[in-house]
Amino acid sequence: MPTMPDRLYAVRALRRMRLIIEMRLLQLREERLECVRQAILRNLPPDIRPSGRRGEGARRPDPETCEQLFP
């Protein structure tokens, strides 16, 4: 039977790993949404495309990733 410190360490480790996984899933979701946004903009006629630039803080996904999602 594990001792109290071992159990506490295991609980903390599991909590930390769950947080890391959740953060990665959010990052992947944001990248996918950006790919969708880019695909929509590519298909819009030039006269109705928004002229403003996206915020500089926005992370641009890898073009290869977007090509895999939307060939």
User: 29 lies in which domain range?
Assistant: 4-44+60-69
Q: Which of 6, 54, 48 is nearest to 34 (CA)?
A: 54
pLDDT of 39 reads 87
Residue 64 placed within a domain: yes
pLDDT of 33 reads 93
Per-residue pLDDT of the chain (71 residues; tens, 9 = 90+): 667 777 777 888 999 999 999 999 999 999 999 999 988 988 999 898 887 666 545 567 777 778 777 66
pLDDT of 59 reads 63
Residue 54 placed within a domain: no
Give the count of domains, the chain.
1
Residue 20 placed within a domain: yes
Q: Count Cβ atoms below 10 Å from residue 35 Cβ, excluding itself.
A: 20
Residue 55 placed within a domain: no
